[in-house]
Amino acid sequence: MKKIFLNLKIRTKLSAVLLAAVVIPALTIGLTFSADFRDMVISNTISRAQKSSATASPILRALSIRVQNVANDLSSSAYYQKLFLSAAPADFSEAAKTASAQDFLTKIHSYQAEGYRTRIYIDLPEDSDFFTSPSASPIFAPLKQARGRYWYGIFQGSSADHLYCPSSYLGPTEAMAYGDSAYIRRFRFIYQGKSLSGYLAVYYSSDLYREALRDNLPFLNGVSYLINDRNQIIAETDMARSATYRVDYDQITGYLESSNAFVEKNVLGADVYAAFQKIPGPSWYLVTIIPKSSLISQGNQIILRYLAIILVCIFGGVLIAELLAGSIVRRIRRVSSQMSQVKAGDTPSPLAPSPYNDEVGQLVDSYNYMADRINDLVAEQQKISEEKTIAEFNALQAQINPHFLYNTMDMIHWMAQTRQYDKVSEIVMKLSRFYKLTLSKKDPISTIGDEIEHASIYVQLQNMRFENAIDLVVDIPDELSSFQIPKLTLQPILENAILHGIREKDPPTGTIVITAWEDDAIYLLISDDGIGMDQERVDHLLSYTPMSKARGANVAIYNIHSRLQLLYGPEYGLNYKSVPGQGTEVTIRVPL
């Protein structure tokens, strides 16, 4: 283990030490106090639920008082008082025509805009003038329409003068037309000497209560609901859960008498915590139920958050390790990277001087001194290598010049022997031009244009010897004429094509075509229609290994190929393709 640790990189070592310093204590604390964390979560959740219930209670109380105040305001209006509470009641039909009736309707419409719809049921026949006259208000209805509804039965069976009605107390059409909750007040009035019953009903939506319950239930999988003294649910945050975790009104009263804290219960095999808050006025209870499994889940989430904090600390430790190791590791890595390049064969590049005078700074200074020394030695070695290459190139060049001169002088000698004295002057002039192009400068590099002229003169000299047996066709783009190429590159190839290709045909005549193009390099193609060569001779042509059956050595061709590779690299030079009886193609590849 010690060896493994010591073989780690410096940054990894620092990170490992810091991570151990952070993770080990954090995990120890987490594992030791995980159970306490859950208990803390449960206690905290119960406390939040109690505060939530205490916050929701006055809001729900205010909503119940608001609908009660609407009923009070309507019953205290002059028109209502005149109709139902006056000692000498007015005629209903005439009263509907007064200004106070219009004010009463205006007030009802303003409350309707707030979500409160009013309906007054009175114990008069449906054919009464009060309902049938054009001046009758649509808010009045015969008591017959209310009979058979649950709330009406409650009033008939009790002495209550008002009632908060959930949707279960209302008829379906009633709830759909006016609202699914209502505050209904019973009153008595005198009509034609008789004491009759009436009911002032203010309808509204139970969503008012639901919104207040949802806003104050910050628990997942929990439920809050309002229940009245008849065990009817007024409003709830979740209908299914309120039915599952329903607690009877009498049980709630007993729980509140014994304790104000949460009560732990078992409902359908599931442990839950229940809190109760009394809503004064309507005699409702606010019930809040939280499943124990939900509390445990929240506890687990706390533990997960704790683990997330550990991960953040780990990330911080890694970041600190990076910052601490940066001044050391990055400089060592730069030195290591430069040394790896040297190992791969590149020349070493000096680094920027270190601004620090620590051990790494001294290492950088030592590396820079070593790099300078190596670069000096490499430069010196390169200079020696270049001088050697130039000497080899010149030696190969020197081998080609005497070879061609020997062949040319042999041709002049032959012409002199055949007494063609009139052509000797012309041959000497062309030969002079030929060597002027070759020897006019010490630079061994020429242009493609000069090489083409040089090759043309050579073919002209050969045609003087062989009675115009050779046709030379040149097709080279003008823009390539200025590109560079070593001197005496084309002439030996043409000489080989004439002497060992065309002149061995029967009859000994033929054509040589020179073309050129530009791609990833410059390519020159010399093709002839001579006798060609077999594959064995082609394979050995560019090596300095004369074959026993060859009629002459391939020294000149080998020298051209070697000069091109010495000058430009092994990917350049000559490439031969030949078909016996059809001819030979020579491709010359030089860089752009």
Position 514 scores a pLDDT of 96
Q: Give, in order, the Cα–Cα distances in Å from 558 to each of 364, 374, 396.
A: 50, 36, 9
Q: How big is the CA angle at 341 (ends 335 and 342), to the nearest 5 degrees? A: 90
Q: Where are the beta strands (DSSP E) in 15-161?
A: 117-122, 140-142
The set of residues, in sequence order, having a beta carbon less than 8 Å from that of 541 and lying 6+ positions away, is 533, 554, 557, 558, 576
DSSP secondary structure, 227-238, as one string: E-TTS-EEEES-
pLDDT greater at residue 117 or residue 82: 117
133's tokens: 């006259």
Count CA atoms within 13 Å of residue 517 on its CB side.
4
* Distance, CA of 205 to chain centre: 48
Position 548 scores a pLDDT of 41
Q: Give, in order, the Cα–Cα distances in Å from 301 to each of 337, 479, 502, 542, 569.
A: 46, 78, 95, 80, 69
C-alpha to C-alpha distance for 131 and 126, rounded to whole angstroms = 7
Span 156-205, pLDDT tens digits: 999 999 999 999 999 999 999 999 999 999 998 887 778 888 999 999 99
CB 166 within 8 A of CB 146: no
Position 37 scores a pLDDT of 66
CB 37 within 8 A of CB 297: no
Span 537-555, pLDDT tens digits: 888 887 765 444 434 446 7
Q: Any idea which of 260-264, 317-321, 377-381 has the lowest mean pLDDT?
A: 260-264
The rounded mean pLDDT for the chain is: 81
DSSP secondary structure, 422-481, as one string: HHHHHHHHHHHHHHHHHHSSS-SEEEHHHHHHHHHHHHHHHHHHHTS-EEEEEE--GGGT
Q: Give, in order, the Cα–Cα distances in Å from 161 to each of 151, 184, 249, 339.
A: 12, 8, 22, 100
Position 256 scores a pLDDT of 74
pLDDT greater at residue 465 or residue 494: 494
In this predicted structure, the answer to whether residue 412 has a pLDDT above a threshold of 50 is: yes
Span 54-104, pLDDT tens digits: 788 888 999 999 999 999 999 999 888 888 887 655 566 677 777 888 899
pTM: 0.49
How many Å from the N-terminal Cα to the C-terminal Cα in the chain?
Answer: 59
Span 209-268, pLDDT tens digits: 999 888 877 666 788 899 998 899 999 988 888 888 888 888 888 877 665 556 777 777
Position 169 scores a pLDDT of 94
Position 307 scores a pLDDT of 77
Residue type, 548: S
Q: Give, in order, the Cα–Cα distances in Å from 334 to each of 330, 331, 343, 351, 361.
A: 6, 5, 14, 8, 12
pLDDT greater at residue 446 or residue 338: 446
